[in-house]
Structure 1
């Protein structure tokens, strides 16, 4: 069975092939994992200059209608009334038990217009979930076909200006519609300053070529995207968060205003209030292994008495941090920074300790 028959393909796949990408499967897509430079150099290039990521596997939804804001406040623990025009907000889709169906970025484009960015592996499920909630609201949820590019790193703004797109007026988590059917936010998944730009597929090759004509920019694959986001302490849905984890345990309550936690009518509100009131039993934390051996997703975490007290959900080597980095869940009593633990890795005991997140400082452009 060929990969082409089972996986979705990016509109710009030919460009990635020409750039020498090594491909692999991710969330149902045929994705570029690395390029000839390799994951270490790609990671460091993004931190030092500008990395271009093809994230067209992500799904954008246009949410429009007279009750679009009310609808989104029901679907998510989101204060849509307080979300200003051209402002973006990180939020979550919850089930009735406050489990995280997906994490999203919601941007207000007008009084009755919003853009929602969802994760690739959850796009079909999210669309069905949103449409089920939309029944009874005056709103439409419309999936968009766009190429989605992320340009990340300290040189990102200058590279974009050189490519003919000046978004220097944007600050972190603000957005613009710079051209017809284009959508851009100053945000990303690396901890660096950067932009995410959605545009029609027919306009994307020429735009990407303009970016890559700048020697400061180069293609970056999924492997470095993962190490960058892990150093930045950012969750990957399906690993660090899923429908069995709630925002309190996942250390994501910062994304939900306190008033909404206490009074909100969003799906999962009652369950979340109960969890917050009783206290989450476990908590997502950063983990720093001693030595050079990374610990990977699925490794059990034990206390000094060799009792299992948690699990690793993401792990690898942090090229910028200079040491292995990981995240996972531990019993709440063990969530303090510096707490010593043991990770079991293929029969070996690797000492780790709880480490503050992020591992590398965020460098968002906040104006």
Structure 2
């Protein structure tokens, strides 16, 4: 028997808006709307796109030892995360692999954590299994999560509450929006400026419709969300990172806080620390995540094999599409370390043909986060 798909608090609104729905991480989710994936992608780059990301897991950690407890599971500085700030993190396993990536926000009296939908149950169990007695985990199931992204996002949200204009990238605060108490962070998954907004489930549809009444705002589905994040070099869990991939192989060193790398009191202490810190020190990894740009118009898809000029297999594509903003095929791949240098020519196998591609620096399209 197929398991019944879950729905978000905005499901009826997606149907009403004519969304094409698909199964995703156990949910019935909108992959595109009437505009279509390419136009939705370009609209988000040019104006403001609204995304339903309510399938993600929203959690709270309460207690004086919450930061210390969470820091023991991630290679990130959580203890010194200032109130009103958010940080990217990932859970690691004993082999140094990535169990999931997540966002952590310090709201002063608690930590607010957002995890991926497909990993929600395992993440909750993982945290729960490692919590000391003085820390409690609250699973939030009565809130939706919306992302408003794009160069006009701040302008649009400021018309609802002008306080958002004072926020910079990775700021977070509780704000009243359209008469509703929301948790707002200036962050997102498109590479554009924007906000992620946790809103009570009962108020989510009315709030979404209020935003959509603005001429700058269009619904954006999972299809464009994927091409937007890929152009901006952002990993998708379960594709570009997984339990067999270390942060060093994944080129995510920027996500490991300096205080957790050094020789000080808080260095290491997270699962797989020996493996990860050794890889950082020796730079000894067999493969690396890099970006490839196509020399033809044909996109390469996840699972395509990669070859060198001598026809030796050297890697695999983990995410690939035609970049609507970049105007050429783009891909995120893992290759043998010898082939990871910028400018290296690599060949992707597509329907029996070997298509030339070039290693290029990510992001393929500049990130435009607002840093003040």
**TM-score interval, normalised by the smaller of the two chains:** over 0.9
CA-CA distance at 1:362 after TM superposition: 0.6
Alignment of 1:110-125 (within 5 A): 110=108, 112-125=109-122
Residues 188-197 or 263-272, more deviating: 263-272
Q: d(CA) in 2 for partners of 1:28 and 1:314?
A: 21
Q: d(CA) in 2 for partners of 1:203 and 1:266?
A: 39
User: In structure 2, the residue corresponding to 1:342 is in which secondary structure?
Assistant: strand
Aligned residues: 363
Task: Select the residue among 311, 320, 323 that pairs with 1:315.
Answer: 320
Which residue does 1:265 correspond to in 2? 269
Q: d(CA) in 2 for partners of 1:250 and 1:21?
A: 34
Mapped contact 1:56–1:147 kept (Cα < 8 A): yes
Which residue does 1:283 correspond to in 2? 288
Mapped contact 2:89–2:255 kept (Cα < 8 A): yes
Task: Select the residue among 24, 35, 38 that pairs with 1:37.
Answer: 35
CA-CA distance at 1:210 after TM superposition: 0.8
CA-CA distance at 1:349 after TM superposition: 1.0
Mapped contact 1:72–1:78 kept (Cα < 8 A): no
CA-CA distance at 1:290 after TM superposition: 1.3
Per-residue CA deviations over 1:239-295 (Å, capped at 9, x if unaligned) read 000000000000001111233124221122122122223322211000111110000
Which residue does 1:203 correspond to in 2? 203
User: In structure 2, the residue corresponding to 1:82 is in which secondary structure?
Assistant: coil
Which residue does 1:187 correspond to in 2? 187
CA-CA distance at 1:181 after TM superposition: 5.4
Q: d(CA) in 2 for partners of 1:307 and 1:143?
A: 48
Which residue does 1:129 correspond to in 2? 126
- TM-score of the two chains, using structure 2 as the length reference: 0.95
Q: d(CA) in 2 for partners of 1:258 and 1:90?
A: 14
Mapped contact 1:342–1:352 kept (Cα < 8 A): yes
Alignment of 1:151-166 (within 5 A): 151-164=148-161, 166=163
Shift of the 247–137 alpha-carbon distance from structure 1 to 2, 3 Å rule, reads farther
Unaligned runs of 5+ in 2: none
User: In structure 2, the residue corresponding to 1:81 is in which secondary structure?
Assistant: coil
Q: d(CA) in 1 for partners of 2:137 and 2:274?
A: 26
Task: Select the residue among 12, 15, 25 that pairs with 1:14.
Answer: 12
Q: d(CA) in 1 for partners of 2:39 and 2:244?
A: 35
